[in-house]
Homo-oligomer: A and B are copies of this chain.
């Protein structure tokens, strides 16, 4: 038998080698079923393989994938020792964070618990895989940092006996490669683990692959958010767009302004404390996921008004206030004093380089009714163009946020209303009506864009609507090559009007997986039947 218990670690090249599966044997099986000494066939080039992969059903499909042909032989993977061991051998105090033990559990965990009494291994002729070496080539692997705007997410994975090698520039690529490796390993009916000899060269098509969760229309318990982060990692998403507050409730517990959630949350329990927020951010970081918080103003702010006096515009009926309130009041200095302090906190609590500032769907009726706002419009020379007033407000907010060295994302109306924007602004296109034209205009003006319009997953319908999301081609808009490069990705949005902890997961997944593959895989991965089969298996794996 060529089984071997490898406990030593070999450094690959001059770089960092990690011994990921210290007590696990994983055999490769040549698909052509020939003897292990026979070399695997060498395809002449990278295939955009799809039908070749069945048992492992990679999702999203790697950019380049080569596997041995033929059917899989039998091979065995088994733990030698006792309970589960954290995955990575660590050589530094925090290196462990780079290679989480959770992948060991994903691949072998359940089976290991179930099959303690499994038959001992006899001598075998099949080739076996005993180790996965993870090689990070950058001097600083990035284990201590937060996922950057455009992470180096490429990786190269070679699975041949006796050692598989996963190479990446930074930890962000290695995490994606670990996910792929875990998808390659599958269990047969006898409890043995199989992995096909493979060579995978993979990288994302788009840098920004996001999921929007809305915790204002319905509060989502922390557990729901964390489960969703797991699902995102399984689908190689890398941005959680946290639409944390809105008209309906203000669950974010502010350090400077605790009254916002004291009065604006659904209850004292329906809040995210600073500890909760830190936990979400760290849980996301360990999965290579950025957390971009959205604090949407000046509209969608009814809940802010409950805990912050004079922040919202009083609406009038004729000469008299009606007692109801409209968008943030843009004419008061106190508004900007508040926002300066508030966004200072947000900039420090959320480590990501970007904050989402909203700016969508501002209803002008209340501003129009208010005599002081009308007076201010006159003084500023805005005439009756309230979009100018909105831009006046937004530009002040943008300046505040810029002063904290943060970039910002805004909804498309901010661009449409011609607000003065920094060149690194990201414009999120959400209106379903002719979004290709809007992408063309935004990128034509030189701004970076992300696409959400065709991926509002809260809109449900009967049947396999994932095909509709899958069939979207984001770059299918009029524009130059340079413009196309400015579309950096997209987001699947799950607005919360009809979503809470009871239905979040089955409503979002695996429908969002369709968006995940569209944003990661090559543009010519479009075969619906093939996607259906892989997605079916991928769903089982996620469950």
Contacts and interface: CB of A to CB of B under 8 A. Distances in A.
Interface of A: 458-463, 498, 502-503, 505-507, 543
A-B pairs with the 7 shortest C-beta distances? Answer: A503-B506, A502-B506, A459-B462, A460-B460, A460-B462, A461-B461, A503-B503
A84 to B, nearest CB: 25
A277 to B, nearest CB: 26
Contacts of A460: 460-462
Given A463-B498, A503-B506, 13 more contacts: A458-B462, A459-B462, A460-B460, A460-B461, A460-B462, A461-B461, A461-B462, A462-B498, A502-B506, A502-B543, A503-B503, A503-B507, A506-B506
A459 B462 CA distance: 5
16 contacts: A458-B462, A459-B462, A460-B460, A460-B461, A460-B462, A461-B461, A461-B462, A462-B498, A463-B498, A502-B505, A502-B506, A502-B543, A503-B503, A503-B506, A503-B507, A506-B506
Contacts of A543: 502
A459 B460 CA distance: 10
A214 to B, nearest CB: 15
A458 B463 CA distance: 9
Nearest to A498: B463
- How many chain copies does the complex carry? 2
A543 to B, nearest CB: 7
Nearest to A506: B503
Contacts of A458: 462
Contacts of A462: 458-461, 498
Contacts of A463: 498
A503 B503 CA distance: 7
Contacts of A507: 503
A505 B502 CA distance: 8
A506 B504 CA distance: 10
A519 B505 CA distance: 32
A60 to B, nearest CB: 21
A498 B460 CA distance: 13
Contacts of A461: 460-462
Contacts of A506: 502-503, 506
A477 to B, nearest CB: 26
A458 B461 CA distance: 10
Nearest to A503: B506
A536 to B, nearest CB: 12
Nearest to A463: B498
A56 B462 CA distance: 34
A378 to B, nearest CB: 42
A260 B328 CA distance: 66
Contacts of A505: 502
Contacts of A498: 462-463
A459 B458 CA distance: 16
A313 B507 CA distance: 40
Most buried by B among A459, A460, A506: A506
A502 B509 CA distance: 10
Contacts of A459: 462
A429 to B, nearest CB: 21
Nearest to A505: B502
Nearest to A456: B462
